[in-house]
Amino acid sequence: MIFCMIEELPTTRPETPLLDTVSSDLGALNGLDTQDLVRLAEELRHDLLYSVAGTGGHFGAGLGVVELTVALHHVFNTPHDRIVWDVGHQTYPHKILTGRRDRMNSMRQLEGLSGFPKRSESPYDTFGVGHSSTSISAAMGMALAAQSQGIDRKVIAVIGDGAITGGMAFEALAHAGHERPNMLVILNDNQMSIGHNTGGLATYFAKIWASKTYTALREGSKKILEHVRGAWDLAKKTEEHMKGMVAPGTMFEELGWHYIGPLDGHDLPQLVNTLKVMAELKGPQFLHIRTVKGKGFAPAERDPIGYHAINKLEPAKPAKAAVPAKPKAPKYQDVFGQWICDLAAQDSRVVGITPAMCEGSGMVAYAQQYPDRFYDVAIAEQHSVTLAAGMACDGLKPVLAIYSTFLQRGYDQLIHDVALQGLDVTLAIDRAGLVGQDGPTHHGTFDLSYLRCIPNMVIAAPSDENQCRQMLQSAWLHDGPAAVRYPRGEGCGVAIDPTLSTLEIGKAQVIREGSGIAILNFGVLLDQAMLAGEALGATVVDMRWVKPLDVDLLRALASQHECLITLEENAIAGGAGSGVAEWLAESKIDCAVRHVGIPDAFIAHAGQGECRQLAGLTSDSIIAAAEGFAMDQISAPLSAGPVAAGQNQQAL
């Protein structure tokens, strides 16, 4: 196939006559011949580039599956037939084809389209995703549901070579090999991480295996030879050995799957023919395709990591007189990256671990400088936690850099393998709080709640980038499990101490002296706490540590103020504020408490600031909590006390 390589993002909508028809009536896709399908794929690729240029978002993976997306919707009767996309970064072409083209300009914006499949958004989005390695399990569940209800339905899971390394994917592959449901798994291999194509011979055999002649011969021979045990065993072994010489599919065959591949995932005619054949087969089918991430857009093909996602294309601004640019504050991930490099230079026991988040966690420089002390375990969060535990058993001091939302996947390991044994593992929890446009699948709004209840844990919530560095050092020096959670994005621009200084664990700091109300801030919302404190004449405290709490200061604050207002970028339920209320109740201290944090709801995707507005993480919400307390005092002055703790939670 001949591709028209694109060098620049288009600023005007391309002419797409075929796509215009199909995107408004997906049924028209069924009547297209091969040449028209190829033209449609090219139009779809150009339209995707135009769309993402206007909104930003993930598009490298989507460019790589344009042909596959067209082929799937052409061959299968969607949405009756189910397509389950893993992770979902690659689903922009799918959304364009399935009636959402006119809304692509709202992608990842407030009340706009999600950057991931979302069941409430379209019947074509059969399963909501954001985390990896879920597609095979979900598709198997759908296939078994169809089977049990007597529904004639095809179920297809599309999974990437990164996601298939997740343990959950292999659990599903093994189970499906046992249950043998009618389903198809398509492995989209765009990083060459499963096995290398061995050239023309492999492609030749892949075509043979996908042909109707081969499948008919295979199934027919099986019916005849399976009654002659020795002959069937010999035939099966011969086939397996032949495949094993030329393809990486032996493992999948051993798990009970009929493997075909690897095929060129950009050869649309071959894809269509192969899928038509596989649609007729029974039992678990496995199709392995090779694709290029960013296919057709030259900059993305040259730099697939850098073009995994992009910001929207802004129009050129008129030239202005040169003004010295104000230096940007560093991103928290880069503060972490510099800290671990500085630490490793002084202590050979430092080991850095991340589950496929080297770039996102700011570990590129560390990986380059200390390759022998860096481990990217791929998408294997459970393994990453227990790997760190094993290292801590035998003299190393591991640091695990992981996003808050992904640490959820290693929760059992954190309890059972790290905390229960009191092992010296430091957790650098990135993307804590509201992350913005990736939405509820990626918000890190539960880590304080699920960490606080674990014995032996130390938990830090820095309010700025310098504290983040100091707390990382304090956590690393602590003999036992410790976590430092910090947000996505830039700090507030404070000066950073280049030394490896520390902060005393469990000690807070009074930032503003006031009266009546004390605002207890946990994390990076200190600016909002200060605004509210000025308006209310309130005391403002930077609590710093979620566990252990500064109980001496809490006791003093409770005795000097009528109400404590806690502030955190975490779920109110079980969060830092809950810890304050619990301690007051246990200590039988009579002081009212109000909580400002994430309400009992999943916060929608929007800009990071908009998400915080949606969740009520603002100075106005703090002031409203104080005013609510005052009204409660007027209406029922005798009811104040411990009973009031947590009753006036801020909501949407």
Q: Which residues participate in catalysis according to the annotation?
A: 293, 381, 409
Cα–Cα distance list, 409 to 362, 384, 413 (Å): 21, 10, 9
Bridge partners, residue 428, by sequence: 401, 484
Q: Who's near 74: CB < 8 A, 6+ residues apart?
A: 29, 30, 32, 37, 272
Amino acid at 38: V
State the Cα–Cα distance between residues 259 and 177, nearest whole angstrom: 12
Q: Which helix (H) or strand (E) holds 332?
A: helix 332-346
Phi, psi of 289 (to 5 degrees): -120, 150
Bridge partners, residue 160, by sequence: 188
Cα–Cα distance list, 173 to 82, 193, 254 (Å): 18, 18, 10
By the 10 Å C-beta count (0-12 exposed, 13-18 middle, 19+ buried), 227 is classed as: exposed
Helix axes 619-635, 526-536, angle to 10 degrees: 40
Q: Which two tokens stand for residue 492?
A: 């507030």
User: Are 439 and 130 in contact, with CB atoms under 8 Å apart?
Assistant: yes
> In the chain, how long is the greatest CA-to-CA distance?
90
| SS3 letters across 504-517 | CCCCCEEEECCCEE
User: Are 160 and 308 in contact, with CB atoms under 8 Å apart?
Assistant: no
Phi, psi of 509 (to 5 degrees): -140, 130
Q: Which helix (H) or strand (E) holds 541?
A: strand 539-542
State the Cα–Cα distance between residues 147 and 139, nearest whole angstrom: 12
- Rg of the chain over all Cα atoms, to the nearest angstrom: 28
State the Cα–Cα distance between residues 467 and 508, nearest whole angstrom: 12
- Cα 536 to chain center, whole Å? 39
User: In the Cβ-directed half-sphere of 309, how many Cα atoms lie within 13 Å?
Assistant: 18
User: In the Cβ-directed half-sphere of 549, how many Cα atoms lie within 13 Å?
Assistant: 23
**Scanning the structure block, which residue is given the tokens 């809304």?**
103
User: Are 161 and 191 in contact, with CB atoms under 8 Å apart?
Assistant: yes
